[in-house]
């Protein structure tokens, strides 16, 4: 996930209003589209500073917040201490190369998958880590031409995704009720002053019981 780049960016990560708005939109979409409840154990991969996860944690029994960036996790840990949040556990782990023994009722991943070269391997791990009846939710960019991150992008492995193709990948791995919807649009202004919109989807599916 481009650990060093994110370590450097962590201190100022929450200062970009566009980033905060995107996280809020993703969290709202997960709340609106998925049946969250206080008995659910959840895992977020690519949790960053917790912009999405902390918005959902009050509706969950517990949240394991996983990232490969120590810098991001340090910011998250400070937030947890300041707000006395006890049901969120930060964890430094690369799920492409490792997994966890426990199973989860909900696994979500927000704007992280496009940083993962081995995305199919990661999706397999996610599906294996879901309990029977558990839900996987992925929020990311639709396919774009590479202009979203620009030519100097660090740690970008995919220029967005076709959610229909991702849906097929999840179905092959045993998920059912797979559904995607557009939940947000990120507006960016180029150096020439041109504005472009980059839509974001939420794709979810449930593991067979």
Q: List pLDDT tens digits, range 132-176.
A: 999 999 999 999 988 888 766 667 889 999 999 999 999 999 999
Averaged pLDDT, 27-35: 97
Cβ–Cβ under 8 Å, residues 42 and 10: no
User: What integer is the mean pLDDT of 166-192?
Assistant: 93
The DSSP code for 99 is: -
The arithmetic mean of pLDDT across residues 192-207, rounded, is 93
Domains in the chain, CATH or no CATH each: 3-207 (3.40.50.150)
Q: What is the pLDDT of residues 52-68, one digit of tens each?
A: 999 999 999 999 999 99
Distances (CA, A) of 171 to 20, 47, 126, 162: 31, 25, 13, 15
Rounded Cα distance, 156 and 144, in Å: 12
pLDDT of residue 74: 94
């Amino acid at each position: 996930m481009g650990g060093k780049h994110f370590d450097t960016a962590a201190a100022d990560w929450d200062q970009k209003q566009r980033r905060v708005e995107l996280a809020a939109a993703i969290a709202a979409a997960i709340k609106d589209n998925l049946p969250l409840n206080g008995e659910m154990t959840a895992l977020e991969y690519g949790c960053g500073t917790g912009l999405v996860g902390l918005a959902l944690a009050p509706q969950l029994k517990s949240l394991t917040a996983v990232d490969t960036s120590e810098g991001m996790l340090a910011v998250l840990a400070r937030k947890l201490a300041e707000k006395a949040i006890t049901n969120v556990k930060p964890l430094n782990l690369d799920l492409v190369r490792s997994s966890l023994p426990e199973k989860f009722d909900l696994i979500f991943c927000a704007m992280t998958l496009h940083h993962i070269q081995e995305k199919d391997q990661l999706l397999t791990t996610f599906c294996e880590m879901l309990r029977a009846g558990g839900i996987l939710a992925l929020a990311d960019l639709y396919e774009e031409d590479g202009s979203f991150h620009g030519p100097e992008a660090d740690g970008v492995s995919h220029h967005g995704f076709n959610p229909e193709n991702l849906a097929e990948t999840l179905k092959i791995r045993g998920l059912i009720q797979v559904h995607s919807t557009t939940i947000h649009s990120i507006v960016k202004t180029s150096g020439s002053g041109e504005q472009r919109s980059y839509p974001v989807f939420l794709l979810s599916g449930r593991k067979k019981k």
